[in-house]
Amino acid sequence: MASNTPHRIALLVHTGPGRSRESRAEVDLALAALALDAELDVYFIGDAILQLAQEKDVTAAGLPAGYKAWAALPDLGEARFFAESGWVGRCESLGIGLCMPVEPLGIARMKRDWRRCDQVLVV
């Protein structure tokens, strides 16, 4: 018998912008999870939150424009976004605007929460 409870997937995003093409794979995984009607919790670890910075131009670095796709995820399905409290505070103090609302959490709380998901994906 199928359960009516939605499948919840946690995606741990740990790649800061501009380091590699790995960050595009993280966006693609998020898009795939939502396409499968899963509920998605995205956890930005450390400087990975900078992938959400509104003001950046990745074309000069020869990187794909995937970073902007993060902002489209809430329109595609049930998605929640979290980041380490300290990094959210740094972004605020430096005037770095984010392309979507992110809930700040301590790392211990993040670990506890993502362990409650049905699946945890790390690229």
Domains held by the chain: number: 1
Instruction: State the CATH number of the domain containing residue 100.
Output: 3.40.1260.10
Q: Could you tell me if residue 102 is inside a domain?
A: yes
Give the tens place of pLDDT for each residue, 74-105: 888 999 999 999 999 999 999 989 988 999 99
Q: Could you tell me if residue 3 is inside a domain?
A: no
Q: Which token pair is 113?
A: 């929460």
Give the tens place of pLDDT for each residue, 60-75: 444 444 567 788 888 8
Show Cβ contacts of residue 58 under 8 Å, excluding neighbours closer than 6 positions.
17, 18, 64, 65, 67
Structural domain range at position 113: 8-122
Q: Could you tell me if residue 1 is inside a domain?
A: no
The C-alpha atoms of residue 66 and residue 21 are separated, in whole angstroms, by: 9
Cα diameter, the chain: 52
Q: Could you tell me if residue 66 is inside a domain?
A: yes
Q: Is a pLDDT exceeding 80 seen at residue 58?
A: no
Instruction: State the DSSP code for 98.
Output: B
Q: Could you tell me if residue 24 is inside a domain?
A: yes
